Structure 1
Amino acid sequence: MAYITNWYQSVHYNTLTIIDPYFKPKDLDIIKTLCDINNELEIRILAHRKEYCNEDYSSQWRTISSGVTNHIKLNFVWYADKPDDGPMHDRYWICSDEDNNIHEAIMLCSVDSLGKKESSITKADDNIALVALNSYMRYAYAQIKTVKGRSLQYDSMNLD
């Protein structure tokens, strides 16, 4: 968690896009920390639905988010025929200065795995950051209908 916090503080752009198919409600703790650092930070998260519903995220956020005014949006994508799975595997955190089209990205394991098993956090080059952002756009905005012949379903929510 300290690495992510230090990475964000060194970059300090105002948009953070997280692509983590396994993002859980308890992972919102790190989001709260980042919001405390920058109350102008806009956060966009893309995850698979898994076993969690919107209320699980809302309930966890209400527990920890006193005083937070940041805009936080969660987008979910999953296979219609297998709701606990979806089209994504890799995890990316991309900080963006969208006014100047500048991106800094890291690749890592799921947040709740950090420190529990051998893993690494790797800085991603700009090409990887752009591919990851394109993936986010395909699922969060374009909401493509199928991947490799499998139908997708979507949901989204804002955390208040």
Structure 2
Amino acid sequence: AITITEGELLPPSYPTVTMPPIQITEDQIPRTVSGSRTTPPSSSGSSGNLNTAVQQRFGNKEPMRAVKLRIVVQEYQDGPGLYGLQIRVSCQGIKAFVAGTSNRDGLFLCELPVRVRSGLTYDVDVTWPRDFGSETERKSITLNVDRTEFTLPFYHRLSS
């Protein structure tokens, strides 16, 4: 039989310490100068930076439109989607890129800038998991503004 006493149930009492209130004076608050602009830190993984980089590369005189690219990652065609695969979308000659992982359905959706008159070619890299050989597979796709969404499938093998 196990016996628990009253002393074992109650935690030891520690004295309560009250700290003085925090005081913030006006001279401790940083001032922002209305004329200065702060630039956000650049992270290569966001489509906002890719948009800016594409615009800088091709100039402001070339009109651009956003087009969605849906990347589908499956073990085989019409099979279940593969979750958590690393995907990177880049454009040759542009340092910025969009990157992320496939969702539970094996989908990765991104919005990319495309030149209205001539389109734009993007490289899509999918890194397969160790179970599938840890290889990185690359496909290139030319996007045009004649459609608002493109689908690019990746299959590890051709049939089930």
Q: TM-score, normalised by structure 2?
A: 0.24
Structure possessing the higher relative contact order (Cα contacts under 8 Å, 6 or more residues apart):
1
Structure of greater Rg:
2
Give me the TM-score of the superposition, normalised by structure 1: 0.24
- Higher normalized helix content (fraction of residues): 1
